Amino acid sequence: MEHKHQYDSNGKQLCCSPQEEKIDKNANKLLKEEKHSSEDGHSHGHSDDDGHDHGSTDKTTFEMFLPAIISLTILLAGIGMDNFFPQQWFTGWVRIVWYAAAYAPVGLPVLKEAYESIMKGDVFSEFFLMSIATIGAFIIGEYPEGVAVMLFYAVGEVFQTLAVTRAKSNIKALLDQRPDEVTILENNTPKTIKAKEAKIGDIIQLKSGEKLALDGELISDSASFNTAALTGESKPDTKNKGEVVLAGMINLQTVAQIKITTAYEDSKLSKILELVQNATSQKAPTELFIRKFARIYTPIVVVLAILICVVPYFFVDNYIFRDWLYRALIFLVISCPCALVISIPLGYFGGIGAASRNGILFKGSNFLDKIAEIQNVVMDKTGTMTEGVFEVQEVNINPAFDKTELLQMVNTLESNSTHPVATAIHQYVGEINQSLNFQNVEEIAGHGLKANVKGDELLVGNFKLMDKFNVNYDINPADIIYTVIAIAYQGKFAGYITIADSIKEDAKLTVEKLHNLNVKATMLSGDKGTVVKYVAQQLGIDNAFGDLLPEDKVNKVKEIKSKNESVAFVGDGVNDAPVVALSDVGIAMGGLGSDATIETADVVIQDDRPSKIPMAINIGKKTKQIVWQNIILAFVVKAIVLVLGAGGLATMWEAVFADVGVALLAILNAVRIQKMKF
């Protein structure tokens, strides 16, 4: 039997490193495809399949730095013999060969990359710029500077690789959340098989410390699970018999048995992995601009460098080719767009990684930009700001009707619905009376249910349903704070049931944080107006509207957008699909509970905590801030040194700082977001 990972209560792997085990083949294929695309943080204007990969390496950090260490050692020895410990033999071809030896470990890989890029039709790559600049330095006899430029460039490349690898660690950790094998019970005998071979209906035996590979239903009496892989929260979650458990959850206590209910590739974790893997395919406008800019900018720079070298011949009296060629080479080194095209995608990738670590999944870096600019958060009530767990508060039935019989009819009719209200009624009334025979059952959107039973019409819903069918009632619904389920039978008002939902513990803090971000909060709900306003007052929400049909919600969002204000809508992503489509950013709460939320929303909050909404906005704002800091840093420093270089006031050492130095500063700035607490 093959080795299976073991985990502690915090989700930390106790045995081998995740990097030592193979990653699931399909997910690994996605990761490899992503590594060859520009979102690996290092496109530099060359083709996406050029093989230049910052994100994948099996080498240790020492092995990655070894060529640079060898080059630096030989270079320092050469500089020492040139300036501090002169040697008579260190001249002519010996000196050239010595510095060539220093150049080879760091320069040959870049020359190879330049050649391969040219063969693929991408001439003006960073490798080409570095190659002609350093070879040019050798031609004019500036051997130490030629080596130094390539050496610092190689060191920068290693730091870039390490930075991208770190940025991808969250995805790699997620990929390892899905075990390769499961132990199933065949005739009560444990048997280990590949997870992909497990079928719906099989019984999984999950030992303490093992991670579940497929979604299923708990058939043991109870079990406690760590859900950190899915929600970002390590707090144990106790499940009871019959409840849903999801792939990626870690069993914390005794052996549990789970009946598989979903195919391996259709599990919630599979969908989340696919979402995160593809997150960088949707680029932010800033990132798209920089990519296009680099493709145009680099050829222009090469032409300008040639002009710097040649044009002065016609205007300068004491023209010395070597001096102007040196200036042109400095110009080329300075102008390499490394800092921009590395740090900007890396910044966005870091933002997506920081969000996923906190249980927030962005479907693309463009949504990080959009959410940073959000001015209004429009939210649903039930399941978003409230627990979505209703309990019956009061049952008021007209004495003219048999209360027990009427409640049984209501309970049986509502059993066709998955709405939390139906669940509350079922918990209150008890078992469903299967002997009742309903005909012409009809759900009226935004109103309730209608059916015929025992030859008479039964209506169960809100008071708009009563008005629709001209049922007279002698109470004022506005006087009742709670959600009210009105009942009519035989064309007469039979009474009502009140149901209450509790507010989530972090809901009030959520609204306070939104206000601190200068974001207005609006609540839209199909629930009773008095209930919606009561909840809104408790939370400090700016505007609240109840008794809304789906089209009413759309109209309310349109009103906000007509003021040229951006809107994020937070809901379940299913019933509110029209509003999600209309909003600038659609946020799904409780994404693990519904496949449709993962499909329709732009941002998925994996647990039900509304406090993740302002956190997502904060991550978007901080990501955008870091990206613009890098853009300004790169442009300002390069512009200054370019002018100095063209005027002969900057040497190759300043050029190295303007290129590799600024790139490293930008990378260090970009990875900061991964350490931030939101």
- 244: Cβ–Cβ under 8 A, 6 or more apart, which residues? 215, 216, 217, 218, 261
Residue 547 Cα distances to 251, 492, 528, angstroms: 43, 23, 5
Q: What's the CA gap between 169 and 185, in Å, rounded?
A: 34
Alpha helices in 540-611 (DSSP H): 550-561, 577-582, 595-600
Q: Which of 380, 547, 602, 659 is catalytic?
A: 380
Q: Locate 210 and state its tokens.
A: 């093992």
Q: Are 13 and 172 in contact (CB under 8 A)?
A: no
Helices (H), 358-475: 365-372, 403-414, 420-429, 463-468
CA–CA distance, 179 with 186 (Å, rounded to integer): 20
Cβ atoms < 10 Å from Cβ of 421: 21
Do 279 and 361 touch, CB atoms closer than 8 A? Answer: yes
Phi, psi of 150 (to 5 degrees): -70, -35
The set of residues, in sequence order, having a beta carbon less than 8 Å from that of 677 and lying 6+ positions away, is none
Phi, psi at 240, each rounded to 5°: -105, 165
Work out the angle at residue 181's Cα, subtended by the Cα atoms of residues 180 and 185, and round it to the nearest 5 degrees: 160
Give the residue carrying structure tokens 């704002």.
621
3-state secondary structure 531-556: HHHHHHHHHCCCEEECCCCHHHHHHH
Tell me the C-alpha to C-alpha distance, in Å, between residue 562 and each of 230, 555, 567.
37, 10, 11
Q: Which residues contact 552 (CB under 8 A, 6 or more apart)?
A: 524, 545
CA-based diameter of the chain, in Å? 119
**Strand-pair category, 492-503 with 483-489:** antiparallel
Beta-carbon contacts of residue 82 (< 8 Å; ≥ 6 apart): 90, 95, 144
Active site residue 50: no
Active site residues: 380
